[in-house]
Structures are given as C-alpha cells and as structure tokens.
C-alpha cells in the first residue's frame, strides 16, 4: 500500500523538477534554449504565416512594426535576424525574482464590468517554465536578488520582449537601489503568453546618464551607448498571460481593444445566445459603450415608495445585471474608441465609412431601434444623432410583470458604396418601417442574420443588457406616470378593498364627462384590471393606506383640471354636503370617501 502511494508522489516530484530548473547552471541552459526557439511565443514564425495578406485580424496580428521580422526571443531581444547563444555567453547569474502576494479580495473595472480578484497567500516566483501570471497580480515591482552577490554596481532592467518596451530600470549600488525608470505594468492583451525579460549588467565604470526610448527600447543600442557589450551577466524570464485589467489598460490608451474577446467567449460558452451564434462573431473588432441617462423617478405602490436618482447608467454585458425599466425610457448614448491597430493595418474603419445600430430582443427577435448611415467619426464622438433613424426607439421592456428579457445592440459596418446613405434609402423606398413610429407589426420577427446578409454588413461591436417588467413598469404601463388609483369596493355579501388601476387617457375622459360614478365604473370595469398587483410584486396590501391614496389622488386630479369644479361632484352625489370652498379640505375628502358606498 505504501509503495502504491509512493509511486505517484515520485512521479509528481520528477515532473516538478523537470519543468522547473533547480540550480543556476540548469536554469541558464534552459534560458538559452528558450531564447533560440523560433516558434515558442506569439511572435514566432507562426505569426508570419498567419498574419500576412490583406484580410487579417488586426487584434490577433498586432505586432510592433520594428519587431515583426524577429521571431525568437533572442533575435527579438537583440534585434538580429540570425540569433546565436553567443549573445548570452557571459551569463552566470540566475536572479530570484518574486512578486508580493495579493492581500484580501480586490476589485477593478474593465470593459464596463467590475471584476473581483481573490487574495493569494504565496508570492509569485519567476522562472522560465512557470505558468503565465495575470497582469493584475504583478502590478507592483518585484524583489530581485541573487546568490553570491558581492559589493559592486549593477544595472537591472526589465523589458517586454513582445511589445518592445522598457518596463523597469534601476541601479543597484552598495548604498542601495537608485531607480532610473519606475516599474511599469505589463499590459498583455492576448491569451498567449508574453515574455518579459529581466537582465542584470555589471555596471562598474559606466556613465551615470543613460539614453533610451521606453516605448521602443533598443537593447543593443543601449548596450553600445552605455559600454555594456560584455556586461550582461544575469537573466530570467517572466511569462505573462492576459486578464481584463490589462485589456482595459490597452483599450483606454487607444492602443489595442480586445474587450470583444470577452464577449465572444461568453457567447460561445453559454447556450442562451443561439441567435448570435449564427453571426460571424470573429469580425467584431471594437468595444462599444452604451450609456443610459436615467431620469429621477419616484412612485408609490401598495403604500411603499420606490425611487431612482438621476444618473448615467452603463450597460454591463459581461455581468448582465438587469436594468430598471425607468433607466431605458430614452435611447442610449453609443460610443466607441478608434484604436492604433486600425491605422497600422490600414483597416477601412479609419476612413469615412458608415455604421448601422440595431437593438433587438434576443428571445423573440423584436426590433426596438434602428439607426443607419451613422458616420464612423460621429460614432467615435458619441453623436448618434448624426445618423438616420429608420425605426424610432421603443423602450425594450417586457409586458408581463416580473419577467425579464435581453436586448442586444449590434454595431455594424456598412460596405463602402458609391451610393450615400444606402441603408436608409432602401427602407425609405421599401416603406417597410415607413409608418412604424411606435409598436407595430413590422418590428416583430426581425431576422438579424438576414438583415446583415441583405445589406452586406460586417460586425463591428456588440453589447447587450437585461430589462425586467418591474414595479416602475407596472405603474407606467397602467397609468402613464399617474400613481395608482384606489377605491373601496363593497357589496352586500362582502367588503373587499382592492388596488385598481386605469390609464391616464381613460381617467381624462372620465373627468371630462363630469361623472364621478362613471370614473368608478371605468376603473372597475375598464382595461386590464390588476386586483392582485401588490401580491404580484411581493408587497403587503394595506387597506387604510390605500384609502388615503384614493383621497390624495382624486384631490390632485381635480386641482390640475380647470374644466371641472369639485363642488359640482359633491352637490350631485352627496346632497347634504355643504360647499364652502372650491377645493375641499382633507376632512372634506374623508367625508366624501365615507359616502361612496351610498351611491355606488
């Protein structure tokens, strides 16, 4: 039994020792082998095979122009087409490099979503065969040490070999470290590992002033200018993966926008996106930010108050937390960012092309909004009004209480054409949506795949958000921004006080007919009565409170309607009521409510 347990343990130990060098000489040999491999990293020979030609992915194929001809780590580091390990002949130090552990849970925002990172107890130890680490975990400078160090002067630098940047530069002197270039975060936006190389030079007798370009760090030139041709004595390799933190850093700098990769993964890995899976998602090249301007709102339902403050709400497709119905009352602001890689690859989006915006229901393919012929430069500026509205915006809120839906926003690139405003002219002549200002049958069964194919559109960006039929929507749908009407409903057999609703339009007609009894009949016998509205939203029904609501609401309505004199109602329906004022006091309303059963 002991032997059976020992064999797997020995295997794991052997595997561990094979993958991670355990002494200086073996680690340095491992470094030299890795440096010479022409297909080990993303910039290897496979990049040249995949990223030549006109139709390429400018995200996957992004590569600094000055480094594109160098495919091994060694050739890229020393900028030579033919690399030999002779460049590393003086190595005899394998430095120990460790990054501090993360304390507790930490949060950051990226791609319009809030991410949480759990803390770690162990430090991150750097070695050439390590698992790639996330950029967020190595945001702070590491500790750099090595065995057998004697008094002297050393130069320690860290360079991102993939992007060609200088990320750290310090002088290690007997009196302490002197930082020349503060530590810069590693911003790898790719899924493939990106190497960052730490180098140690003997610096005895070198000049005190150094010239270098941090964004395009030329190591051979730096070594020649600083008399360091034979001074490279130490090396280690840090492997960095990607995470949303690094992706966001690149995006906000206008460098490379790889936020769409997170969206594509979500669509591919979840089953609910069957409609979107029919589209060529790999065409998506940009992130689109969708902002709603939420107005200040306050309602009362079942004697509870619900309110939202005025603020800007950003959609979060990665989290997909439902938005309130009041948030989506007006069409959103849609913006995107022009990126450097679009210019570098001569992407057609940098010229004056046009975009189409559509918002549709993911579940039933209902069309909520369509804007065509939006200039790309206007999109970058957030000026959606510069486009032509084909289908006016309709709030994407489901009609059934307590149900939710997902509205998808697609940003599409229109093909270059000699005919300006081709999409809007098509629908103007076709008249499919000519008379569709509000809810109409033409919005139903919107086939997004057919729409994209018909107009030869390309996917540019995608976003989505969930909306629910919430308390606000119930009140707005029933009364058009009026609070709930309530009334007593008695019969000889039972007394059941119910919360009843009616639309603004019906209420107007009732008041103008000058018949309070008709108002009651309309409320109780009119459209879509919801006697259990409180229970539908899990709210407690409060009869005294609802009775007070009735008094307040009728008072408010009479005061706003100049065509009606409240006294006429009291004289007609409550004969013994003495009229002293045009508008009743609170006590007068209490008496009116008391008399209601006598004439209903």
Under 8 Å between Cβ of 306 and 298: yes
Assess whether pLDDT exceeds 60 at residue 387: yes
Q: Which of 423, 450, 469 delimits the end of a domain? A: 469
| Strand pairing category for 96-99 and 113-117 | unpaired
Structure-token pair, residue 290: 């969708």
Interval 270-291 mean pLDDT: 85
520-534 tens-digit pLDDT: 344 433 333 334 556
pLDDT at 509: 39
Dihedral sign from CA coordinates of 48, 49, 53, 56: negative
Tell whether 168 is covered by a domain: yes
Q: Which of 460, 107, 138 is nearest to 283 (CA)?
A: 460
pLDDT band at 270; cut points 50, 70, 90: confident
pLDDT band at 210 (very low <50, low <70, confident <90, very high): confident
Residue 381: per-residue pLDDT: 87
Residues 312 and 450 in one domain: yes
Tell me: pLDDT of 566 over 60. no
User: What residues pair up with 117 in beta bridges, in sequence order?
Assistant: 106
- Which residue bears the tokens 């051979």? 220
The reply to whether 238 and 267 lie within a common domain is: no
pLDDT of 346 above 80: no
**Residue 79 shares a structural domain with residue 200:** yes
Judgement on whether residues 451 and 357 belong to the same structural domain of the protein:
yes
pLDDT, tens digit, 9 for 90 and up, residues 172-198: 988 889 999 999 999 999 999 999 999
Q: Is residue 5 part of a domain?
A: no
What pLDDT is recorded for position 27? 93
336 touches 286 (CB < 8 A): yes
Reported as a pLDDT band with limits 50, 70 and 90, residue 77 is very high
**b or e along 492-504 (b: 16 or more beta carbons within 10 Å of the residue's beta carbon)?**
eeeeebbbbbbbe
Nearest to 250 by CA among 170, 190, 200, 171: 190
Pick from 319, 401, 318, 390: nearest CA to 360: 390
Provide the domain limits for residue 157.
Answer: 24-247
Contact partners, residue 282, CB within 8 Å, separation at least 6: 57, 264
Angstrom CA distances, 117 to 102, 103, 172, 246, stand at 9, 10, 33, 14
Are 453 and 565 part of one and the same domain?
Answer: no
The Cα–Cα gap between 492 and 499 comes to: 20
Predicted model pTM: 0.73
SS percent in the chain: helix, strand, coil, step 5 = 35, 20, 45
Across-strand partners of 407?
Answer: 361, 465
Same domain, 415 and 437: yes
197, 264: one domain: no
CATH code at 351? 3.90.280.10
Alpha-carbon distance of 237 to 127, in angstroms, equals 6
Q: Looking at residue 484, what DSSP letter applies?
A: P
My answer on whether 243 and 268 are in the same domain is no
- Whether residue 589 lies inside any domain: the answer is yes
Residue 20 pLDDT > 80: no
Q: Are residues 285 and 383 in the same domain?
A: yes
Euclidean distance between CA atoms 103 and 125, whole angstroms: 17
User: Running DSSP on this structure, what letter comes out for residue 406?
Assistant: E
For the chain, what percent of residues have pLDDT higher than 90?
41
Most confident of the following: 311-320, 491-500, 501-510, 513-522: 311-320
Is 11 part of a structural domain of the chain? Answer: no
Domain end marker among 215, 247, 279: 247
Run of H or E residues at 249: helix 244-252
Bridge-based pairing state of the strands 232-240 and 124-125? unpaired
More confident residue, 400 or 30: 30
User: What pLDDT does residue 306 have?
Assistant: 76
Tokens of 60: 């996957």
Same domain (yes/no): 218, 347: no
Q: Which residue has the higher pLDDT, 369 or 415?
A: 369
Determine contact, residues 542/302, Cβ cutoff 8 Å: yes
Q: Is 230 among the domain residues?
A: yes
Q: Are both 158 and 221 inside the same structural domain?
A: yes
Answer yes or no: are the C-beta atoms of 236 and 95 closer than 8 Å.
Answer: yes
Question: What is the domain count for the chain?
Answer: 3
Neighbours of 341 (CB within 10 A): 21
Q: Is residue 383 part of a domain?
A: yes
- Tell whether 331 and 436 lie within a shared domain: yes
Quick check: is 18 in a domain? no
pLDDT tens, position by position, 220-254? 999 999 989 999 999 999 999 999 999 999 988 88
**291 domain residue, yes or no:** yes
pLDDT of residue 322 exceeding 80:
yes
Greater pLDDT, 229 or 572: 229
User: 214, 247, 280: which is the final residue of a domain?
Assistant: 247
Please tell me the distance from the alpha carbon of residue 268 to that of residue 281, in angstroms, as a whole number: 9
Rg (CA), the chain: 35
């Amino acid at each position: 039994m002991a032997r059976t347990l020992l064999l797997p343990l020995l295997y794991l130990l052997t595997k561990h020792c094979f993958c991670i060098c355990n002494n200086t000489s073996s680690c340095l040999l491992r470094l030299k082998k890795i440096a010479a491999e022409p297909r080990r990293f993303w910039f290897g020979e496979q990049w040249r095979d995949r990223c030549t030609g006109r139709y390429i992915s400018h995200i996957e194929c992004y590569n600094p122009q000055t480094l594109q001809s160098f495919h091994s780590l060694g050739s890229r580091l020393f900028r030579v087409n033919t690399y030999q390990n002779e460049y590393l002949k003086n190595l005899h130090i394998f430095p120990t490099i460790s990054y501090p552990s993360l304390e507790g849970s930490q949060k950051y925002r990226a791609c319009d979503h809030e991410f949480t990172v759990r803390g770690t107890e162990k430090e991150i130890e750097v070695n050439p065969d390590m698992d790639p680490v996330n950029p967020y975990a190595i945001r702070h400078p590491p500790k750099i040490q090595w065995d057998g160090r004697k008094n002297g002067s050393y130069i320690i630098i860290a360079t991102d070999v993939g992007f060609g940047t200088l990320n750290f530069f310090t002088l290690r002197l007997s009196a302490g470290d002197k930082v020349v270039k503060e530590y810069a975060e590693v911003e790898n936006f790719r899924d493939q590992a990106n190497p960052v190389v730490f180098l140690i030079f003997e610096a005895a007798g070198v000049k005190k002033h150094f010239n270098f370009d941090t964004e395009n760090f030329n190591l051979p030139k730096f070594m020649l200018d600083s008399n360091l041709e034979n001074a490279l004595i130490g090396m280690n390799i840090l492997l960095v993966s990607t995470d949303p933190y690094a992706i966001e850093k690149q995006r906000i700098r206008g460098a490379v926008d790889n936020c769409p990769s997170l969206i594509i993964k979500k669509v591919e890995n979840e089953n609910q996106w069957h409609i979107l899976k029919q589209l060529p998602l790999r065409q998506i090249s940009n992130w689109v930010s969708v902002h709603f301007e939420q107005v200040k709102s306050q309602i009362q339902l079942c004697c509870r108050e619900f309110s939202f403050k005025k603020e800007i709400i950003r959609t979060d497709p990665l989290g997909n937390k439902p938005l309130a119905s009041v948030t989506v009352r007006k069409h959103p602001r849609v913006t995107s960012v022009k990126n450097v890689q679009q210019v570098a690859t001569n992407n057609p989006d940098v010229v004056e092309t046009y975009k189409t915006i559509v918002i549709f229901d993911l579940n039933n393919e209902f069309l909520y909004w369509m804007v065509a012929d939006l200039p790309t430069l206007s999109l970058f500026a957030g000026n959606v009004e510069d486009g032509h509205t084909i289908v006016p915006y309709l709030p994407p809120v489901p009609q059934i209480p307590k149900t939710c839906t997902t509205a998808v926003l697609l940003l599409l690139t229109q093909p270059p054409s000699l005919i300006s405003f081709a999409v809007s002219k098509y629908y103007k002549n076709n008249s499919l949506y000519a008379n569709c200002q509000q809810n109409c049958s033409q919005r139903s069964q919107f086939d997004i795949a057919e729409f994209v194919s018909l107009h030869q559109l390309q996917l540019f960006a995608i976003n989505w958000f969930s909306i629910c039929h919430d308390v606000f929507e119930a009140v707005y749908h029933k009364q058009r921004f009026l609070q709930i009407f309530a009334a007593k409903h008695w019969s000889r057999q039972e007394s059941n006080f119910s919360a009843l609703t009616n639309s603004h339009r019906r209420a107007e007609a009732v008041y103008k007919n000058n018949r309070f009894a008709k108002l009651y009949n309309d409320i109780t016998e009119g459209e879509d009565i919801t006697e259990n509205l409180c229970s539908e939203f899990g709210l407690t029904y409060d009869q005294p409170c609802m009775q007070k609501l009735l008094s307040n609401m009728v008072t408010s309505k009479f005061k706003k309607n100049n065509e009606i004199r409240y006294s006429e109602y009291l004289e007609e329906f409550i004969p013994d009521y003495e009229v002293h004022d045009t508008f009743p006091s609170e006590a007068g309303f209490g008496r009116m409510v008391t008399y209601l059963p006598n004439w209903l």
